[in-house]
Amino acid sequence: MCGIIGYTGPQACKNLILDGLERLEYRGYDSTGIVLLEDGELRRDRTVGKVAELRQIVGDNHSSARLGMGHTRWATHGGVETRNAHPFLSNDGRLAVLMNGIFENYVELRAEVSANGHELESATDTEALVHLLADAYEGDLVEAVRRVYPRLEGHFAFLVMSRDEPDRIVATRLAWPPLVVGKGESEMYIASFLPAFLDRTRQVQHVEEGEIVDLRPTGATFWPMAGGAAVDRAVEEADASIEVAEKGGYETFMLKEIHEQPRAIADTIGERFRDGQLHLDGVGLTDAELADVQRVLIVACGTALHAGLVGRYLIEEWAGIATEADVASEWRYRHAVFDPRTLVLAISQSGETADTLAAMQLARERGAKVVAITNVMGSAVTRAADGVLYTRAGLEIGVASSKCFTAQIALLTLVALRLAELRWRLPADRVAEIGRGL
Ligand code: GLU
């Protein structure tokens, strides 16, 4: 997984970009790079390896830059070599680009820019983008992105800056690679994940798929790709604190998160048992619809699927409903047969798991009711579902899931109990007893 960060504002930004990249290190990567605008020129440094090495390479240089972007790369197209590390510059040095994701049609795009006279320095898919943008650029980055975007197939989030627009970063995304904007005092941040700038601001705005976000120190403007008036986007207060992105005295994030399980489970169950009653607010189905469910299909990937396997036992045992748990990446290619009374539970910690999202879309197209179980407010699965049940585990940084896994099981336990209750399979006092036990 790669990480992206960008900054525009009054501060010297080199170190805050490097710090942000370090905060994204937990995601794993193989190379890293930075580009800074200084004295009217785009200055770039890149390396294979850690952010600490990049920091050494950059040294005391570019200390006055107030516009910049950084990247940690997880190679998909082109080997792990410095020439393939992001950011990429246009041949005239005017534009810089970095990306998280993949261009599926990169062979065609690379051939096209090469035929148009651009020299390719790397073996990546991403580099084609900077040359396409260079051809489309007439002094307005938003317009250039608008022209190039329809040419791009795949899934991606990218940032672009120009030496001719010294306080501006423009970005867009398609499919699941995330982008989040941070609003400071006359300064703006953008990153793939909140921890990258959470020590600087907690005021955030989410970037929707297929729109252009235009960052200036004074704020972000969200433009529809097709043109027309800018859309309003609420500024939200991030619900995570910076402590969650730090290890708090533990040797690893994973160890810290293992110890956070009692709290994660308690918060997940929390309000849902009140006055001796079980409430599943947000589930998006009426009690009558839930009582009428004939089959449950749990779709998820990896650890979330394992939580689903536990959920299957509970739903079958308590609610007496036929339940399957299937890996989303396989299920989406089957010709699954649905009854309109099938309930699909889609579980994704991050809410961005591509195969789970695709499975949800399919299930809804075929008429099933889909409920997302996720840990991240406003994430992609929440927009693709009829209802959402949140685990309340807080940000999970460890790649091997711990507290989110147990919180998912806690939540599935509540779903099983609610289904059992509505179908008169468990008496209220037994539900209350299990609730107390939890
Ligand atoms: N596909 C791009 C590359 O290999 C970006 C990979 C990433 O998301 O880090 O350079």
| Ligand 1 atom with least separation from CA of 76 | 4
pLDDT tens across 134-161, in order?
Answer: 999 999 999 999 999 999 999 899 999 9
Q: Say how many Å lie between the CA of residue 41 and the centre of ligand 1.
A: 25
pLDDT tens across 308-337, in order?
Answer: 999 999 999 999 999 999 999 999 888 888
Cβ atoms of 240 and 394 closer than 8 Å: yes
SS3 127: helix
Who contacts 237 (Cβ-Cβ below 8 Å, separation ≥6)?
A: 202, 203, 204
User: Where does 270-374 have alpha helices with state H?
Assistant: 287-291, 302-314, 328-331, 354-365
pLDDT tens across 351-384, in order?
Answer: 988 899 999 999 999 899 999 999 988 788 998 9
DSSP 196: G
**Per-residue pLDDT, 275:** 76
Question: What residues are in contact with ligand 1 under a 6 Å CB criterion?
Answer: 2, 73-78, 84, 99-102, 124-126
Domain boundaries, the chain: 3-245, 253-437
Q: Say how many Å lie between the CA of residue 110 and the centre of ligand 1.
A: 15
Mode of pairing for the β-strands spanning 31-38 and 67-73: antiparallel
- Look up the CATH architecture of domain 3-245: 4-Layer Sandwich (3.60)
| Ligand 1 atom with least separation from CA of 102 | 1
CA 189 to CA 235: how far, in whole Å?
13
CA 216 to CA 8: how far, in whole Å?
6
Residue percentage of the chain with pLDDT more than 90: 80
Mean pLDDT, range 396-425, rounded to an integer: 94
Is the whole-model pTM more than 0.95?
A: no
- Bridge partner list, 169: 215
Out of 124, 152, 153, 179, give the residue to mutate to test ligand 1, the one with the largest number of ligand atoms within 8 Å of its CB: 124
Out of 31, 81, 82, 86, give the residue to mutate to test ligand 1, the one with the largest number of ligand atoms within 8 Å of its CB: 86
Phi and psi based region of residue 40 (left: phi greater than 0; alpha: psi -120 to 50; beta: remaining): left
Q: Say how many Å lie between the CA of residue 385 and the centre of ligand 1.
A: 29
Instruction: List the one residue out of 104, 135, 77 whose CA is nearest residue 145.
Output: 135
Tell me which residue has tokens 């499919």.
Answer: 175
Whether CATH 3.80.10.10 fits 253-437:
no
